[in-house]
Structure 1
Amino acid sequence: MNADDLASWIRHTAELVSADADRLTRLDAAIGDGDHGLNLDRGFRAAVEALPADVPPGKVLITAGRAIVSKTGGASGPLYGTALRRAGKAMGDEGEVDAAGLGAALRAGLEGVVELGKAAEGDKTMIDALAPAVAAYEAALAEGSGLAGCVRAAAEAAAKGADGTVPMRARKGRASYLGARSEGHMDPGASSTALVLQALADVAGEG
């Protein structure tokens, strides 16, 4: 993938988030502050506006991450911003990113989110979608899949992971204050993470 591909990923993510902002906000209203969709929509719109030209792929993600941090309220801004910036830094200054390079970038993004949010799988957070997505990507890569196949596996795992948060009891964030009442609701961060990975799969599949 090159810089144009990654810029397309950010743009397509913004489209999917905007289209799904009301649902994400409803999910958050059930167990959080009720602003996840609106905040993330604003953040990714800012990321699209900030997209630079004539830079390496990694710089595209670093710039998008910074814009999201500056424009997105709540916890989602720092978490998504960190994920994108860490992924971008992992790409370095290479002009093209192959399947292995993208996998390493996604792993770096996951590690950044874990470090910042102090969450683990099973805590009912975006990690429950992101961690299985990265694991599925790496497994597909090890089995010889190309970039598009790896990303498709990641997107499918993210969607399954988001669905899996429904019966969980939240152990992190505002939702954790609800105790048993957090059960029966999909985590909004996991749901939006699945959208981000679906956007990447859509863009990778066009290549």
Structure 2
Amino acid sequence: MDSQAREQLIRAVAATIIQHSEELTALDQAIGDGDHGLNLKRGFEAVTAELPGLAEKPWPDLLKAAGMAMVMKVGGASGPLFGTFFMELGKTVGGEPDRTAVIAAFAKAVEAVKARGRSEAGQKTLLDVLVPVQAALAAGADAATLKAEAIAAADRTVPMQAIRGRASFLGERSVGHMDPGARSSSLIIATVADELNKQGLMS
């Protein structure tokens, strides 16, 4: 993937989050503090402001910079969690990653998010998307399958009771609402899958 393709990928992800920022905010208003969409929008706007220069960097530096932007610009718990994911991904993935390298890096990034949030899948967080997507990726899923799994995984958080995060304070009242972090994660993964498919990198 050359710098132009990387820039296109980043812009596509940012555009998706910005387009869905009101939806993400509404989800967070139901069970959180109501700023998830706005905060993520701010974070991805900060990332795109560094383009095209950012896209000219090798993957490790690009992902580290994106992660730092998430930490600095995205408030609440989401900034550190998304930032940790991107920075750990960059630390492991290497400059010219193949599928094997991506699988290994994704797994380490997920473990880093678990450690940072002191949480596991099944607790109504973004891990309820990241963990099943990781499993699908490791099993050889194509782009369409990864996208479908990410979206379905976010949907599966609706009947869950929140165990971690601000939503956990609601107890049973958190049931019946999609987790906003799971939804935003699913949107990011779905967009990346679409872009990789378009570019013929993950058919």
Within the candidate set 67, 86, 89, 1:87 is matched to 89
Specify the code of the residue in structure 2 equivalent to 1:45: E
Does structure 1 residue 181 correspond to structure 2 residue 150? no
Query: Taking structure 1 as reference, are residues 98 and 21 closer, same or farther at Cα in structure 2, changes over 3 Å only?
Result: same
Measure the CA separation in 1 of the matches of 2:9 and 2:196. Answer: 8
Q: Distance in 2 between matches of 1:34 and 1:26?
A: 7
Displacement of 1:55 after TM fit?
Answer: 2.1
The TM-score with structure 2 as length reference comes to 0.91
**Contact 2:7/2:55 (<8 A) preserved:** no
| Corresponding position of 2:17 | 17
Find the partner of 1:72 among 71, 74, 81: 74
Q: Aligned partner of 1:170: which letter?
A: A
Matches within 5 A, 1:162-173: 162-173=154-165
Structure 2 residue runs without a partner (length 5+): none
What is the Cα-based RMSD across aligned positions, in Å? 1.5
What's the CA shift string for 1:53-82, capped at 9, x where partnerless?
532122111111111111111111111111
From 58, 61, 74, the equivalent of 1:59 is 61
How many residues align? The count is 197
Partner residue of 2:101? 101
- 1:88-116 deviation per Cα after TM superposition (whole angstroms, max 9, x unaligned): 11123x2x221112222221221111110
CA displacement, residues 174-201 of structure 1 (integer Å, 9 cap, x when unaligned):
1000000000000000000000101111
Aligned equivalents of 1:152, 1:178: Cα separation in 2: 35
Q: Give the secondary-structure state (helix, strand or coil) at the position aligned to 2:125.
A: coil
**Is residue 200 of structure 1 aligned with residue 164 of structure 2?**
no
Amino acid at match of 2:189: L
Task: For residue 3 of structure 1, report the CA deviation from its aligned partner.
Answer: 4.8
Query: Per-residue deviation at 1:50?
Result: 2.8
1:161 paired with 2:158, answer no
Superposition deviation, residue 5 in structure 1: 3.7
TM superposition shift of 1:28: 0.3
- In 2, the alpha carbon distance for the partners of 1:90 and 1:156 equals 26
- The one-letter amino acid paired with 1:180 is E
Q: 1:26 to 1:74 in 2, by over 3 A?
A: same
Secondary structure at the aligned position of 2:122 is classed as coil
**1:75 & 1:53 partners in 2: Cα distance?**
26
In 2 relative to 1, CA 152–86 (structure 1 residues): closer, same or farther, beyond 3 Å? farther
How far apart are the structure 1 equivalents of 2:172 and 2:191? 33
Query: Partner of 1:50: helix, strand, or coil?
Result: coil
> In the TM superposition, what is the alpha-carbon distance from 1:10 to its structure 2 partner?
2.3
- Normalising to structure 1: TM-score of the pair? 0.90
Give the Cα separation in 1 of the matches to 2:105 and 2:8: 17
